[in-house]
Amino acid sequence: MRFLMVGAGLSGAVIGREFAEQGHEITVVDSRDHIGGNCHTERDADTGVMVHVYGPHIFHTDDEEVWSYVNRYANFLPYKNRVKTTSQGQVYSLPVNLHTINQFFGKTMRPDEARVFITEEQADTSITDPQSFEEQAMRFVGRDLYEAFFKGYTIKQWGCHPSELPASILKRLPVRFNYDDNYFFHRFQGMPENGYTDMIAGILDHSGITVKLNTTFDRSMGDVFDHVFYSGPLDGYFDYELGRLGYRTLDFERFTYDGDYQGCAVMNYGEEEVPYTRITEHKHFAPWETHEGSVCYREFSRAAGPDDIPYYPIRQVKEKALLGEYVALAEKTQNVTFVGRLGTYRYLDMDVTIREALDTARTFLDEITAEREFKPFYVAPM
């Protein structure tokens, strides 16, 4: 059978590879001039630094099968994301941990002392059922830490006050009562030695897969295939006929530096007066390499326009209502599966994207094996 993958990122590559290994004919198209989607990495010609072209991507997961999968196509080396933040003229560690608390309040508390201090002296215990991002933060860390580390950054990142954002954005308790400054908590964490584009090239390296870059998809292209797996914007597939779903986009101010600019991979700027949210220094994402020069990005967040790259789905009340209408259209669309971050209008980490791609491919292959009639395979957003 013949399948079309729209998008040469993780979703299209993983699903395409699963099908190709079962003898099916796969065509992958992408409007960009490279594979890898927003995970695309490339060597800077002047410094030799591996640059995360669309912003940093750090692989972390508890899914052992997904970890084994990516290690089939790349040599992953250990990497732990240790984020710093500049606030009120000092540099602190994130996520908020015991070192952050002691430094911020000028104390030397032990874990149990810090827990009592935060929960009894700082946290706003009058908030029993947090409904907004602001209430969630105030309930767990109190006003001082909220305003130093969360408020300004969130306003810049999302373009609205934290009181307008749902509490679910802060799903976990945003504080640790130990000195663990590893940003993530998953069992498996690392970076591909030669970058994500090289890894995705390995996934696509199969005789049954044809990749066509600089190729813009239109729906008529699907007529010559048995099924289409679409990882572009959900509303874009329907030519935005119901309106555009809201996204935040990112602008990167790239600059180079002769030496080590900030001493870490990620430096957040929590104060609203600083126009950018963070600076990333890309050579620190590959600590096993040595480079004299450095490539850095100042990162600015704003509302996405029609010609911008969509990064973060907003998913507030208005967007969820419009999403429901597009979901109804998608469920009626024959022989198309909507996958990935854009196709399902969700923010997805890389490991979840791969997991869903593997599960989608296997479900579809089971349908083929059972010779059941084709039906819409819309992957509904959560």
Closest CA to 149 of 5, 30, 268: 268
**With contact defined as beta carbons under 8 Å apart, do 266 and 44 qualify?**
no
Selecting among 43, 251, 347, 366, the annotated active-site residue is 347
**Catalytic: which of 196, 235, 237, 278?**
278
25, 193, 325, 349: the active-site residue: 349
Candidate list 32, 244, 248, 346, residue with the active-site label: 248
Q: Which of 172, 218, 223, 258 is catalytic?
A: 172
CA distance 239 to 380: 19
Any catalytic annotation for residue 115?
Answer: no
299 classed as catalytic: yes
The tokens for 341 are 């971050």
Catalytic site residue from 17, 139, 176, 355: 176
Spatial CA neighbour of 41 closest among 49, 51, 32: 51
- 8-state DSSP, 184: -
**Nearest-angstrom CA–CA distance, 13 and 211:** 10
CA distance 230 to 11: 9
Q: Are 198 and 192 in contact (CB under 8 A)?
A: yes
Query: For residue 166, what are the contacts with CB-CB under 8 A and spacing of at least 6?
Result: 131, 132, 133, 316
| Residue 261 Cα distances to 84, 144, 204, 296, angstroms | 14, 29, 36, 8
Annotated catalytic, 349? yes
347 catalytic residue (yes or no): yes
**What's the 3-state SS for 75-122?**
CEEECCCCEEEEECCEEEEECCCHHHHHHHHCCCCCHHHHHHHHHHHH
Given the residues 30, 181, 198, 299, select the one marked as catalytic: 299
355 is catalytic: no
Q: 251: which residues sit within 8 A by CB, 6+ positions away?
A: 299, 300, 301, 302
Alpha-carbon dihedral 106, 111, 113, 119, rounded to 10 degrees: 90
What spatial distance separates the first Cα and last Cα of the chain, rounded to whole Å? 30
Active site residues: 172, 176, 248, 278, 299, 347, 349
